[in-house]
Amino acid sequence: MIYFDHAATTPPYEDVAKTVAEVMARHYGNPSSLHRLGEESAKLLDKAREVSAAALGVRPREIVFTGGATESNNMAIKGVALQFAGRGKHLITAATEHPSVLESVKQMVSWGWEATILPVDGDGCVTVDQVRAALRPDTVLVSVMHINNETGTVQPVEEIGRMLKTVAPRVMFHVDGVQGFGKLPLSLADSGIDLYGLSAHKLRGPKGVGLLYVREGLQLAPLLAGGGQEGGYRSGTENIPYIVAFSKALRLAAEGREARSTKLYRLRERLTRGLAELTELTVNSPAQGAPHIVHFSYPGMKAEALLHMLEEEGFFVSTRSACSSKRSEPSRVLLAMGKSKEVASSGIRISLGDEHEEQDIDALLAALRQSVKRLQALR
Ligand code: PMP
């Protein structure tokens, strides 16, 4: 089987999986305990924070470990909104954000906040001018993702961040970085980003662990009250095995970023060239999209049937994002991009990883041609 669903989750590096088992078995002390076992765990936690901060190019005290990006996004949006409600009650985000952002914003709206949900263009992009035009005196937060998990659309987050720091320096800027880290460069130090979330399992690390970068000087209202771990932001005994393993995955993701990006773009190019030869197929991902995601539709063809046929041939792909693939409605991301209901209901997402090679792409294309022929014959 060849796994082409990296945007949903990634196969963990062997070394990372080994680290989880080793740390779990040996270093079970609670980092808050005063004895040696506790101190050892506290040291591992410190080291993991240093390694993670170095991978992101930020300071260790700016890293808050979380239970994944859903938590990071909730922590950022609601944490800012609760802390700064006195400044105003207006948020800005985009129509194609991940549900963990959009649903958090919706919750804020149900608590009396106002939200501007920016529409996207045909490529799924928002522009700096759109964000600037939506700013109000009572705007507290802007949240725009780096790379869309369904289509691979790259948002101009560095430009948005710089614009905000120039024209509205008090407005905070949150970026969901889940699909971008280790794929495309992004400088947190000079892009005006205040909050940035990641999930380990999208980077070949374990599930159930992530982080939120909180720019130094920024104070959020914590969502979890308790023992005050993670600088008071995330009470609860720290998950040392996963955090240590995550820091390893982050280091590997950062170190190999350029080579990975080049390789993935080469594979993506091969894939899109092959897809262009298939009639009736439309590619939904923008030409200038992320290196690892290609989304296409066969209007009129049942995407799920195609997915299972490809599975029979030995390939795991996905119909859209993992969080919404079990829903039968058309993709809200594609609808927001102005695609027809038919296109938005018949999508297949191929997401690549650094373990893939040219022959894997060729094999997938051959299986796709075969499966489409079979499905067309059934129509
Ligand atoms: N944001 C994006 C862009 C994602 O792709 C995902 C994972 N689908 C998340 C946030 C949430 O990550 P997790 O499920 O690990 O909490």
Summarised one tens digit per residue, pLDDT across range 23-82 is 999 999 999 999 999 999 999 999 999 999 999 999 999 999 999 999 999 999 999 989
Does the Cβ of 325 fall within 6 Å of ligand 1? no
Q: What is the predicted pLDDT for the residue at 329?
A: 83
Tens-place pLDDT, residues 112-157: 999 999 999 999 999 999 999 999 999 999 999 999 999 999 999 9
User: What's the rounded mean pLDDT across residues 277-304?
Assistant: 93
**Amino acid at residue number 40:** E
Q: What is the mean pLDDT of residues 319-336?
A: 77
Confidence of residue 325 (pLDDT cuts 50, 70, 90): low
Q: 152: alpha, beta or left, given left = phi > 0 and alpha = psi -120 to 50?
A: left
Ligand 1 pocket check for 149: Cβ under 6 Å: yes
Q: Which residues contact 326 (CB under 8 A, 6 or more apart)?
A: none
In one letter, which amino acid is 319? T
What secondary structure does DSSP assign to 163-197, as a single string? HHHHH-TTSEEEEE-TTTTTTS---STTS---EEE
The tokens for 24 are 């779990």
pLDDT confidence of residue 326: 58
Atom of ligand 1 nearest to the CA of 210: 15
Ligand 1 atom having least distance to the Cα of 207 = 15
pLDDT computed for residue 352 by the predictor? 98
pLDDT at 284 over 60: yes
CA of 9 to the centre of ligand 1 (A): 9
Q: What pLDDT is attached to residue 321?
A: 61
Tell me the residue type at 342: E
- Ligand 1 neighbourhood includes 180 CB (under 6 angstroms): no
**Cβ 208 under 6 angstroms from ligand 1:** no
Both tokens assigned to 65: 């470990």
With a cut of 80, say whether residue 268 has pLDDT above it. Answer: yes
Beta strands in 177-321 (DSSP E): 195-199, 210-214, 282-283, 293-297, 315-316
322 — pLDDT class (breaks 50, 70, 90): low
Ligand 1 contacts CB of residue 200 (under 6 A): no
Distance, CA of 348 to CA of 314 (rounded, Å) = 16
* 171 pLDDT above the threshold of 90: yes
CA distance 107 to 153: 26
**What is the rounded average pLDDT of the residues 203-221?**
97
Over residues 154-170, the mean pLDDT reads: 97
296 - beta bridge partners?
A: 283, 348
- Mapped onto helix, strand or coil, the DSSP state of residue 88 is coil
pTM above the 0.75 mark? Answer: yes
Q: Is 323 in the pocket of ligand 1 (CB under 6 A)?
A: yes
State residue 95's pLDDT score: 98
Kind and range of the H or E element at 351? strand 347-351
Centroid of ligand 1 to alpha carbon of 95 (angstroms): 16
Distance (Å) from CA 191 to ligand 1 centroid: 22
Report the catalytic residues. 323
pLDDT score of 127: 98
Model pLDDT, residue 279: 85
Q: How far is the CA of 208 from the centre of ligand 1 (A)?
A: 11
Residue 90 has pLDDT above 90, yes or no: yes
Residue-wise pLDDT tens digits, 47-63: 999 999 999 999 999 99
- 297 CB within 6 A, ligand 1: no
Please name the helix (run of DSSP H) or strand (run of DSSP E) that holds residue 118, with its range, or none: strand 114-118
Going by C-alpha positions, the residue among 134, 158, 135 that lies closest to residue 146 is 158
Looking at residues 330-346, what average pLDDT do you find?
94
Find the 248 Cα to ligand 1 centroid distance in Å. Answer: 19
Looking at the CA of residue 199, tell me the nearest atom of ligand 1.
15
Pairing of strands 347-351, 293-297: antiparallel
Beta bridge mates, 114? 90
> Helix, strand or coil for residue 309?
helix
